[in-house]
Amino acid sequence: MTHTNQIVIDKVRKSRIDSTDFDNLTFGKTFSDHMLECTWKNGSWGDVEIKPYGPIMVEPSCKVFHYGQAIFEGMKAFKDDQDDVFLFRPADNWIRFNASAKRLAMPEVPEEIFMDGLKKLVELDKDWVRKGDGQSLYLRPFMIASENGVAAAPSTEYKFMVVMSPARAYYRGEVRVVIATSYSRAADGGVGYAKAAGNYAASFYPNNLALEEGFQQIIWTDAASHEYLEEAGTMNIFVRIGDKLLTSPHNDRILNGVTRRSVIQLAKDMGIEVEERRVSINEINEAARAGELKEMFGSGTAAVIVPIKGYKHLEFVHELPTMEHSYAERFKKELNDIQYNRTEDPHQWRVKI
C-alpha cells in the first residue's frame, strides 16, 4: 500500500506582514505567517499541514524535553530583482537532515515532505522574502520527539516542522575568537556531525566564558588533544596561510557545512589552492608569528562568511591583518551573487521556487 502524503493548507485570515518592521529585525525573533507540521506515528508520516504560525500543545512529559531527540536545519530563501525566489542547495540540507535523524534514532523525512512542503510554504509566504543585499527568509526545518513518557528510550512519535524568519545579516561588529583548550563540543564516535540540538546547548557555557573575556566565539579543537582546528559554534572555519586556503576535513565531530562545501568549490573555480586536511593550532600560530597568516573566516548559512579579526590561544593573542581583496570578501560576494541570481550558476546551486 503506497500512501501519498497530501499537503493540507490552512491560510491565515490576515497576514502580519504589514506590522513587521523589516528594517529592525532581531535574528530569529519574527516569524512569517505560516508554518509546516507533519507527524510521524505508527511507523509512518501523515499529511503535511501548512497552517498559521502559532503555539503547539505539548505535555511536560514530551520526550524532547527529557531526552533531547531534536535536530534542525538552517537554510535561506533569496529574492532577485524580478521577484523570483530561490533556495540555495536545498537538497544538501535535506540529506544532512536525514543523516542527523539517523544518528539521533529518529525517522528520516522523505524528499516529498521536506522539499515539496518547504517549497509550498515559501511560495505561500513569498512576500516575507525581501529584496536587497543581506535580506533573506531564514528557513528552519526541525524535528522533535513528541511521544509522552519519561523512560529513556527513543520516541515512538515525532513532529517535523518548518518555521521561517525574515533575516538580515547575522553578525554585527568585529569577531574575535578564543581557540578551545579545555572544553569541547563533540566526541569521536559522537553526534558532532549531526545538527543535534544538544550540541548547541553544550557550547553555550564555554562560549559565555569567551564572551566574558571579550571574544565573540569559540573555535573548537579536537576533544582528545585540543591540537587541531575543528569548527565554530555555527560556522566552519577557514584559514589562509600565504595564498593557500586550509580547512579541517569533515569527520564525525564536525558539521559538514553547505557553505563550507561551496567555498571549497568556489576556491577551486577561482584557482585558489585549497587543502582539506588536519590543521594544527601550532601551524596557525607559527604562520601568525611569521606574518603568513593572512585570513581566518567562518562560513555558515546564517552568517554566510564572517571574517575573524583576531584570536587568542592560551597566552598567545594575535590580530589578523586587514587584506585588500580578501578571500573572505571574494567568497561572500560570489556566494551572494549566486544566491540573489546576479550571476551565472555553473554548479546549479540555485533552486527556483
* Residue closest to ligand PLP (Cβ): 257
The Cα-based distances of 148 to 41, 42, 55, 94, 157 in angstroms read 13, 14, 18, 27, 9
Residue type, position 30, single letter: T
Nearest to 264 by CA among 334, 318, 196, 172: 334
Stretch of 2-10, 52-60, 278-286, 344-352 contacting a second copy, by CB under 8 A: 52-60
Between 119 and 138, how does the x/- string for binding to a second copy read (CB under 8 A)?
Answer: -------------------x
Least Å distance between CB 214 and ligand PLP?
A: 23
Q: Which of 40, 45, 72, 94 binds a second copy (CB under 8 A)?
A: 72
Decide: is 54 part of the binding site for a second copy (CB under 8 A): yes
Q: Angle at CA 207, nearest 5°, toward 205 and 212?
A: 95
Least Å distance between CB 84 and a second copy?
A: 25
Stretch 183-202 residues interacting with ligand PLP (CB under 6 A): 195
Decide: is 90 part of the binding site for ligand PLP (CB under 6 A): no
Name the DSSP class of 126: G
Q: Angle at CA 164, nearest 5°, toward 160 and 168?
A: 145
Name the DSSP class of 118: H
Instruction: Return the bridge partners of 247, or none.
Output: 238, 276
Decide: is 207 part of the binding site for ligand PLP (CB under 6 A): no
Decide: is 85 part of the binding site for ligand PLP (CB under 6 A): no
Q: Which of 50, 75, 178, 196 binds a second copy (CB under 8 A)?
A: 196
110 binds, among ligand PLP, a second copy, none (CB under 5 to 8 A by kind): none
Decide: is 98 part of the binding site for ligand PLP (CB under 6 A): no
Instruction: Give every CB contact of residue 77 below 8 A, 6+ residues apart in sequence.
Output: 85, 86, 87, 122, 126, 129, 136, 137, 139, 164, 353
Q: Are 85 and 126 in contact (CB under 8 A)?
A: yes
Q: Which residues form the interface with a second copy (CB under 8 A)?
A: 26-29, 31, 35, 37, 53-61, 64-70, 72, 102-105, 138, 140, 142, 144-145, 148-154, 161, 163, 165, 180, 182-191, 196-202, 204-205, 207-208, 223-224, 226, 233-234
